[in-house]
Every structure is written in C-alpha cells, then in structure tokens.
C-alpha cells in the first residue's frame, strides 16, 4: 500500500511506493500484456476460421458436416462392439465359473443326485468372496461339511488322488455332533441326531 508524503518543493501530497510494490506492479502489467497478446492471437485464429467457413461453398460445408456424422457413426459402432465384447467376456467368465463349480462339487457327490442337490443348496447359502479356484474349493468344502461329509485336513480336491474319497455321514459322526451343530442343521432343514 503506498504511503502519502508531501513534496518538499511544491507541498503537494504524493504517493510513494516501495521497490517490492513497484516490482509487483510491473509484473502484473507484464502478465496483463501477455494475456492481451494471447487473446489477440486466439481472436485472430477464430476470425481466420470464420472467414474460411464463410468462404466455403455449400458443398464444402455439407462435406464437413458429413465427415462429422461419419465420425459419430463410427464412434457409436465402436461403442456397440465394445459392449458386445464385454457381454461375451462376462458370459465366458460365468460359463467358466459354472464349469469349475460343477467339477469341484462332482468330486464330493460322485454322481449321487440327492447329495448333489444338497451340496448345491448348501453352496447357494454360503457367501464366500472370490471366484478363484481356492475360494471355490473353500466354498465346496464348507458345503460338503454342511451336508455331513467328513473331510480330512488335506485339500478336498486332492483327496481322490491320495486314494481317499469323501466320506458320507456316518452314525458315529452323527453321534459326535454338538448341540450347536444340531440346532444349526435343524434350522437349515438338514438331518440331525434327533
């Protein structure tokens, strides 16, 4: 902010600026002049473009519009193709997931339709995150345990290779069922010890 002083000879009041204030003022003037030059350049380009458009024949104007329409049509076509590819990819992933689920559950039910239905029902009740083989295996193991199949601590997918088959519920295992397990099985409509 400028200071006001009296001129020693004339006695008039004058504004006095510090060197920093003068430098700031000069910088703001230079920035304003640069902005004016930029605007003049942009204005000249727009004026030139307008003159070119004004001097165009109606055929040239229509051709320009036709090119824009063609670009829009191509853009729409590419968006449709992208959408179709996404749908195909989703269908492929869903199909692969279903095949993996079927193969994993088959290792537990071995063609027994009643057990297969029970496993699939249990599978649908479970909420295990992930679609990789480990998550699917964990979900299948939980579904099998809910169905009463005894599973060793080894990976259930590798049991068939080790000579062990999944074990169906036995009377001995049913007798070992805790009260909480019995209530949970009863709530889900599964067989209990009672």
Instruction: State the CB neighbour count (10 A cutoff) for residue 114.
Output: 9
Q: Provide the residue ranges of all domains of the chain, joining segments of one domain with +.
A: 61-168
> Consecutive sets of 10 residues in the chain, 194 residues long: mean pLDDT of each?
77 82 89 90 82 75 78 86 90 87 84 86 82 83 83 54 54 58 74 65
Q: Which two tokens stand for residue 95?
A: 């199909």
At 30 the pLDDT is 92
Report the C-alpha gap between 164 and 7 in whole angstroms. Answer: 109
At 176 the pLDDT is 56
At 160 the pLDDT is 47
Strands (E) in the chain, as ranges, are 3-6, 13-16
H/E run at residue 64 = helix 58-109
Is residue 105 a contact partner of residue 140, using CB atoms and an 8 Å limit? Answer: yes
């Amino acid at each position: 902010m400028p200071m006001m002083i009296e001129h020693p000879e004339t006695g008039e009041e004058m504004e006095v600026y510090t060197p920093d204030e003068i430098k700031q003022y000069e910088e703001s003037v230079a920035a304003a002049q640069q902005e004016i030059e930029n605007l003049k350049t942009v204005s000249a380009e727009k004026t030139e473009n307008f003159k070119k458009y004004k001097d165009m024949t109606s055929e040239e104007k229509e051709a320009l519009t036709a090119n824009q329409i063609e670009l829009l049509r191509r853009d729409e076509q590419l968006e449709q193709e992208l959408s179709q590819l996404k749908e195909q990819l989703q269908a492929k992933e869903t199909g692969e997931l279903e095949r993996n689920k079927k193969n994993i559950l088959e290792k537990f039910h071995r063609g027994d339709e009643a057990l297969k239905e029970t496993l699939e029902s249990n599978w649908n009740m479970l909420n295990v995150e992930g679609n990789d083989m480990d998550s699917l295996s964990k979900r299948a193991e939980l579904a099998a345990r809910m169905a009463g199949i005894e599973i060793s601590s080894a990976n259930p997918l590798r049991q068939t290779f080790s000579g062990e088959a999944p074990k169906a519920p036995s009377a001995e295992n049913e007798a070992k069922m805790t009260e909480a397990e019995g209530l949970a099985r009863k709530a889900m409509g599964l067989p209990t010890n009672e």
